[in-house]
Structure formats: C-alpha cells, structure tokens
Amino acid sequence: MCGVLAVAFAVVGFPGGAVRADARADTTCRDDDGWWCLYGKPDLKDGGGLIATNNPDTDLKMDENWSFFNDATRSASNRTSSFVGLYDDIEFRGMMACLPPGTWVGGLRAGVSSLRIHPGRDEACTGPRSGALPRPVRFDPETEPTPEGDEETGEREAPKSPSGKPKPTKKPVKPSASPKLDLPPMVAPSSLLPQAPPLAVPRAAAEKDDGVPPALAIAVVAFLALAGLGIGGWLFGLRRYGAGPVPRTATDPGAIFRVHHALLCMADWCEQDGRDVPRVRAVTIDATEVTLHLAASDVEAPGPWRVAPGGRTWHLFVSDIDGLTTGTDRLAPYPLLVPVRPGMWLNLAAFPGPVALTGHRKAARGAAVTLARRLRESPWREGVRVRTVGFPPEASVEAEAGTELARVVFINDGMQVPGKIPPGSAVVAVGLPDGAGTVWRVRFGGSVVPPAEVFGKSPDRTPVGVGSKGSSSSSAGTGSDDSGSDGSASDGTGGGDG
C-alpha cells in the first residue's frame, strides 16, 4: 500500500501529545484530485484541513492521539477514484457516511473515528448505519464546493459548474398588466389553446389591455379581507386574554420553578400530616398537571394531590400551584432530580447505583456533562455537591460548609468507579462499569432514554382519594435516601447498551 498521509500538525512536536488550539487553522487540506480530506467545519471552509491522503486502498483507525481529528470532523471530501466510508467507532460498525468518487458531504453530527478507502462500495461502506446517512453531493473538479442541506448551518445552495455543459434555461417572463401577452397568437380556430392557460379568463377580458384581470383582483381582495379578520381576531384575543395566565407546557422556562414550588408545598403537607415524603423516582409536568412517579404504592396523598388507581402516581393540577404557600426555610425534598428531557426529571437517589450511561461514547460523555451542569443550575441545587472526574472542572460545584444534603459524582469512561455508594449520594459513570446498578441508554444526539418501567401509564387518571392525616407505611425517607436499599427500586435498571 503506497501513498502519502498529510495532517495539520505533528503530534510528537508537543510534550505529552498536547495540541495547540489553533493548529487546525494553520494548514489547508490538500483538496486536490486523487486526495480525500476531513474538515473541521460543515462547509469545508475556514476550518483548516484535519487530515488528507492519496491512499487509494486503505483502512484507518483514529484512536488514542487521533482524538483531536475525530472529535473535530464535520465535513469530508473525496476526490479519489475510490469509495470512502466514514465510521463513528474504531471497529467499523457504525457507518456515518459513504462518499462515492468525486463527492463531498457536510453536516456530520459527530466526529469520525475510522474510515475505509477502497475501489468498491461493498468494501468501503460496510456495517450497520449509526443513523440516517447524509446525502453526498457531487462537485466539479474545477469548482469549489458550496454548502447544501446542512442541518447545522441551515439551507445551502447546490454547487455550480461553470465549466460543464451549458444547460437550457427558461426565458424569464416579464409581468404584464394584461393576460393577453401570456396567450398564444390566435391564428386559427384549431390553435386557440395549444397549452392549458394558468388561469381561465373570459375572452372579452383577455382582449382588454387596460387593467388587472377580474379574477386576480377578486383573489387579492379576498386575501386582504381574510388577513384583516385574522389580525382583528388576534388583537381581540390579546385584549381579552392578555392579562390571564399563559398556557403552561413542559417547554415553558417557568415549568421547573412551578415543579419546585409544588414539591416544597408537598413536603410541608407531609410534615403537617406526620409522615415522610413519598419515594419518588421521577417528576413530570405537562400543560395540565404535575405528576409524581413513585417507587412504591402510596395512596395517602396530602393536600390537593390526587392519587391514581394503584397508588403509583400522584397528580396536582398546574392551575392549583400558584395559590400554594410554603415556608421560606424549607429545603428541597428531592435534591438529586436531573432533567432528561423537557418536563421530565429523574431522581438519581431513587435508582440503584452506580448509574451507567451507555451508547455512543461521545454522546454518553456529553450527556454526563449536561446532567452535571443542569443539576448545578436547578432551583433545588442548595446543599448539593457535584463532582466530576475526567471532565471539565467547570461542571463541578461545591456545597456551602455545613449545608450539604446530597452528593453526586460524574465519572468519565476509563476511570475507576467506587464499589460502595453512601446514603444520600449517587454515582453516574460513562460506559458500563462492573457492578452497575442501573443502565440508562443515551441516544446518538446525547439525550437520555427515560426508563420505560418508570413512566407506565395509569389505567385511569381519575383520583381515588385525597390524602388524610396520619403516618404512611412507606419506607420512603427523604429524596436523598440510600438508593436500592429495598426491593422497590430493583427494577430501575434500564436495558440495552446502545
């Protein structure tokens, strides 16, 4: 196998494999005939070349010191006579794109971990797909490719080819005040309508050349009338409902604060009733109500909370939250709630640990950092200590002295995971460590798949009763209790490793 490999810099030139942040911009990829290239931006420009070669038949695994390349790749070009297959893992199992000769592709969602270059498609593009493959765009060798169909940068024009064959173009038609110019000449009765006209107009109107066609005028008047009615209705609705409450949905930025207020009031009522707060696995909110998903059945809900049949979910109307009051010194009952999607939070303290994030390696790492940062920014963050191991230090946060209520540690893959987790703590690890108590799958885009067993729909949403005063037999404790200390959380493990 012969060929030349060109990269943007020499890794051995820096101690310990360190890489200058601007090294990618110092070298332009050899985007010439017979070469293939990887780029750091979707539009193949302004990002500098990452790697290029003219090898016509080769396999390349970019691991260890190649992580700078595969993490940064967002587009690729193939000016060789071979097919190029791009993969998101070093075992050639997750194909990201397949580039025929003389094509390029942009908008890659993640970096490239390995690639194959072979004369045949079946040799270069093998294995299962990691997702919907982007469509390669063919370019002319003398033309600089321009972006097209990139999800990250928006719509882009197709590449132009000034050196190719001239294509027939339609002659532009100038607008006219009379439709007479758009009709064919009337030379014989048999040629009155050689083609269907765009609009059927009376012959008398077609012979006039002194105004707008009646049909067009009627259409314009009707459109303006409808637009006026729509604007008037909108203004009337603003005057009538402008001072009222805005419909609340899971994507409303204020949803998290309404959930926080509802949980504080629920903790107040439980204390007044002389009972512990229920053991909650998850909390959800939609346009009508807040729902608590319990780890064990509990039919004695306090205050205005309603219990669904079976006692596994409690419900509170969103419209009732604003009128609730609570003590100012009340601490959050579930400080380790982490958001997994809009309107949905999982309680790390209610799942057996450590919690493993499985799936695409880069996606799982991003999910861990996102969970740590959102936990740090949540309204119930008071007293929570967040530590990260193998991640950027800015994702960590320390609780104030004497106020620590809960602790959670996020550990990158390849790091040692503690075997024992103290009560009131949680460990979230990337990958599948030994002794993992719960497995959450991470999608390719970095979102956590909610455990299906937690969000099973109740057969009937009608409340069966309102909580009464008294002590519950639930061994719930606080939201910071020891995960997995009883059998109620034993089914909290998610399935699959992505």
Is the distance from CB of 328 to CB of 408 less than 8 angstroms?
A: no
Phi, psi dihedrals of residue 284, rounded to the nearest 5°:
-130, 155
- Confirm if 8 and 26 have CB atoms less than 8 A apart: yes
The CB density around residue 415, as the number of other CB atoms within 10 Å, is: 13
Q: Is 58 exposed, middle or buried (0-12, 13-18, 19+ CB in 10 A)?
A: middle
Mean pLDDT of 228-250: 54
427 domain-assigned = yes
Could you tell me the residue range of the domain that residue 89 belongs to?
5-138
Among 148-157, 190-199, 413-422, 470-479, which is the least confidently predicted range?
A: 470-479
- The least confident of 15-19, 128-132, 412-416, 438-442 is 15-19
Question: Worst-scoring range by mean pLDDT, 8-22, 41-55, 70-84?
Answer: 8-22
Nearest 5°: the CA angle 133, 136, 138 is 170
Residue 441 lies in a domain: yes
Structure tokens at 229: 């009615």
Structural domains of the chain, count: 2
331 exposure class (CB count in 10 Å sphere: 0-12, 13-18, 19+) = middle
Distance CA 116, CA 151 (A): 25
457 and 313 in a single domain? The answer is yes
Instruction: Please compute the mean of the pLDDT values over residues 57-85 and round it to a whole number.
Output: 76
Do 451 and 311 share a structural domain?
yes
pLDDT given for residue 316 in this prediction: 93
| Residue 207 within any structural domain of the chain | no
Residue 296 resides in a domain: yes
What is the predicted pLDDT for the residue at 476? 33
- Quick one: pLDDT at residue 322? 79
Measured CA distances, 77 to 29, 45, 139 (Å): 10, 12, 9
Q: Which of 71, 104, 138 is the last residue of a domain?
A: 138
Tell me which residue has tokens 């991470």. 442
pTM value is 0.44
Let me know if residue 309 belongs to a domain. Answer: yes
In a domain? residue 83: yes
Which residue carries 């695409």 as its tokens?
360
> Does 217 reside within a domain?
no
Range with the largest mean pLDDT of 62-71, 78-87, 208-217: 78-87
Nearest-Å Rg of the Cα atoms of the chain is 32
Under a CB-based contact definition with an 8 Å cutoff, are residues 387 and 406 in contact? no
The domain boundary residue, chosen from 138, 164, 198: 138
Same-domain status, 353 and 479 = yes
pLDDT digits (tens, 9 = 90+) for 99-139: 899 898 887 777 788 888 999 888 889 877 766 788 888 87
CATH of the domain at 58: 2.60.20.10
Same domain, 120 and 265: no
Which residue type is seen at 472? Answer: S
In a domain, 102, yes or no: yes
pLDDT band at 355 (very low <50, low <70, confident <90, very high): very high
Domain boundary among 90, 105, 138: 138
Angstrom distance (rounded) from CA 359 to CA 79: 33
User: DSSP assignment, residue 338?
Assistant: E
